[in-house]
């Protein structure tokens, strides 16, 4: 499977890249915005492409030629403002979805965020306000664009992300109860679920919440 990973320099993106490098099932092209990032990846034997989500769609369509799947793991980052959030997390995602559709890419996996699909959490000045509201709104509309795109999608909404080794044990559900709960998951486990979603037909056209749990990843996906 030929896979384009958008956001390969992010923390989850780097984990996906490392795991896919060791697998025979995938021919990965890792997309980066900066030349130095590309050079460093090439030195590690990774096939690379240059992608700037704030530019037009033409180069996105070019790098998607011949791809079977796209993973969208990009984000503007926590230190940017609402403008970058809208242009990368929303408009950049939508352009990637549209480019995939135009180039007849079969699969699209989106890394979203827990509660992005729940207006009652982030909208109308409720639990989250300010910049967080822009972030969730961006994720909400990007996810919905993918849902309506006609692509074979998987949307993964992970809980709070941890920088610790993965356990391989997760909980996956269409709707996790989040109120008064401190849900979290290692980034490594998110990366593993992304990859497993490309290998498991049961993950096609599914969107789900993801957190730490007791099921193996394969068993958790089988319950969808």
Which residues does the annotation mark as catalytic?
135
| Cα–Cα distance measured from residue 135 to residue 79, given in angstroms and rounded to the nearest whole number | 12
For 199, phi and psi rounded to 5 degrees? -100, -15
Do strands 206-212 and 160-162 pair parallel, antiparallel, or not at all (unpaired)? Answer: unpaired
Alpha helices (H) in the chain, listed in sequence order: 11-21, 35-43, 58-64, 82-84, 91-102, 119-122, 131-147, 187-199, 217-222
Non-local CB neighbours of 78 within 8 Å, separated by 6+ positions: none
| Cα–Cα distance measured from residue 194 to residue 221, given in angstroms and rounded to the nearest whole number | 11
| 67: three-class secondary structure by DSSP | coil
Tokens at 219, concatenated: 């068993």
Tokens at 50, concatenated: 């240059």
């Amino acid at each position: 499977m030929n896979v384009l990973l958008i956001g390969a320099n992010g923390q989850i993106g780097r984990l996906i890249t490392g795991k896919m490098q060791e697998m025979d099932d995938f021919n990965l092209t890792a997309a980066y915005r900066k030349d130095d990032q590309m050079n460093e990846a090439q030195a590690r034997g990774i096939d690379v492409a240059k992608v700037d989500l704030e530019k037009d769609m033409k180069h996105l369509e070019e790098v998607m030629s011949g791809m079977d799947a796209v993973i969208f793991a990009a984000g503007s980052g926590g230190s940017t403002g609402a403008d970058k959030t809208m242009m990368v997390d929303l408009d950049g995602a939508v352009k990637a979805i549209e480019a995939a559709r135009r180039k007849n890419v079969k699969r699209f996996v989106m890394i979203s965020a827990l509660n992005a699909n729940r207006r009652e959490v982030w909208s109308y000045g409720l639990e989250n306000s300010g910049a967080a509201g822009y972030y969730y709104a961006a994720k909400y509309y990007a996810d919905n664009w993918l849902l309506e795109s006609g692509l074979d999608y998987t949307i993964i909404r992970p809980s709070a992300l941890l920088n610790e080794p993965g356990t391989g044990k997760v909980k996956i559900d269409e709707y996790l109860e989040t109120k008064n709960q401190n849900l979290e998951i290692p980034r490594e486990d998110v990366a593993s679920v992304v990859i497993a979603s490309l290998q498991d037909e049961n993950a096609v056209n599914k969107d789900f919440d993801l957190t730490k749990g007791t099921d193996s990843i394969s068993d958790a996906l089988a319950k969808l």
